[in-house]
Chains A and B, each alone.
Chain A
Amino acid sequence: MRVEEAATTSPYVDLMFIFFFLLYATLATVGIIVLRKLFRNNPVEVELEKKYPSIEKGDS
């Protein structure tokens, strides 16, 4: 069996390629936006203070 014999005969492969391309493009963009939002307006210090309010500031 050669590759061209094994390939699907469905005529919709191009269309599915476009769909998957759009899917990954969208996921990449939204993923970057979400990650940026997650870290941009949310410095580590604030997050740690929120999580461990019992530890006093300047305590090393």
Chain B
Amino acid sequence: MTYEIIGITVLWLFLYGYVIVASIDFGAGFFSYYAKKTKKDHIINQLISRYLSPVWEVTNVFFVFFFVGIVGFFPDTAFYYGTALLVPGSIAIILLAIRGSFYAFESYGSKQSNVYMFLYGATGLLIPASLSTALTLSEGGFITETNGEITMNYLKLFTSPYSWSVVFLAIVSVLYISATFLTFYASRANDTEALKLVRKYALFWGTPTIIAALTTFIALGQHNQRHYDRMLDLWWVFGLSMGFFMISLGLIYIGKYYGLAFISVMLQFFFAFFGYGASHLPYILDPYITIYENATHQSTGIALIIVFIAGLFLLVPSLILLMKLFLFNADYVKGKK
């Protein structure tokens, strides 16, 4: 195993962590708005607001780590993606700012503002959609380099079925991950009313997740044949992902072992995410950046790997501690604290 492979794996782990933790947060925001809209907020808002407050600060740490890591490890990514992602990245930052500030306005300001809540919920779905364009761009065909100048073909991006299927997959996955987590969380809090509602959400968003995954798969076959073939070589990884999806949906359906169901969802996305990432290699940006040609010097690379693994060892236990202290503290979950 070369140091490039280890580096990209560690970075991919950070991105995976961000996908899971941020999905829960984004989805919870949307469900909070949706429940308000359908006049069911009195059932689950207690639960969601308990979840949302302490954790959402931590999610961005994963993302920042990933950014610093990828630019440090593969300096050319800054050059290519920096230009190409100016628009989607700026939109994502604007949406993040709107989301964060309107969450604050909602909780401190006027009590009955549906507009604030709408902005909070809607941006939760639009942020993953705009961030997912980075993955679409990485497949190549949208970014072209002529004489050292990077141009991005927005028309092609907006008319590509692949790019829309990725956006759809991102939104649906966010809702599914979040709904399964909230189901688990509600069962931990012994909140039967809320559990009934979020379990319904989880069951509802299960099927679209798989449909979106298959659509994306087919659309990728038309967009990037090489990547598609590599994915077919790794079929067993995606098979495992599908298997864990079945387990999670089955467990939620029979209404038992919600904790195990959520772990299955995490494993489902773990295998899908790493299967996608592994088949994407050696390209980071098809065809301009590969992990071998554009990696940083070996000594820097190894130093970065050590630092990032140390970072993981710091971040993951602190996340677990945070969850123990707040999220899964029995009194806190039930709202007694």
Whole-angstrom CA separation of A20 from B89 in the bound complex: 12
Q: Is the CB of B109 within 8 A of A19?
A: no
**A23 contact from B84, B86, B98, Cβ within 8 A:** B98
Q: Which residues of A contact B91 (CB under 8 A)?
A: 19
Contacts of A27 in B (CB 8 A): 97-98, 101
B residues 64-91 with Cβ under 8 Å of A? 82-84, 86-87, 90-91
Q: CA of A56 to CA of B285 in the docked complex: distance in angstroms?
A: 69
Interface pair A10/B152, CB less than 8 Å apart: yes
Q: Considering the complex, which residues of chain B in the window 95-128 have a beta carbon less than 8 Å from any beta carbon of chain A?
A: 97-98, 101-102, 105, 108-110
Q: Are A9 and B150 in contact (CB under 8 A)?
A: yes
Query: A4-60: which residues lie under 8 A (CB-CB) from chain B?
Result: 8-10, 12-13, 15-16, 19-20, 23, 27, 30-31, 34, 37-38
Interface size class of A (residues with CB under 8 A): 10 to 19
Majority secondary structure of chain A interface residues (helix, strand, loop or mixed): helix
With A and B bound together, what is the CA distance between A16 and B110 in angstroms? 30
Collect the chain A residues with CB atoms within 8 Å of residue B101's CB. Answer: 27, 30-31
- In the assembled complex, which residues on chain A have CB atoms less than 8 Å from the CB atom of B57? none
Chain B residues with Cβ under 8 A from A8's Cβ?
Answer: 82-83, 86
Where the two chains meet, the residues of B that have a C-beta atom closer than 8 Å to any C-beta of A are 82-84, 86-87, 90-91, 94, 97-98, 101-102, 105, 108-110, 149-152
Binding site for B on A (CB under 8 A): 8-10, 12-13, 15-16, 19-20, 23, 27, 30-31, 34, 37-38
Cβ contacts A to B, 13 pairs, < 8 Å? A9-B83, A9-B150, A9-B151, A10-B87, A12-B86, A16-B90, A19-B94, A20-B90, A20-B94, A27-B97, A30-B102, A34-B109, A37-B110
Contacts A8-B82, A9-B83 aside, 8 further interface pairs with beta carbons under 8 A come to A8-B83, A9-B150, A10-B86, A12-B86, A30-B101, A31-B101, A34-B109, A34-B110
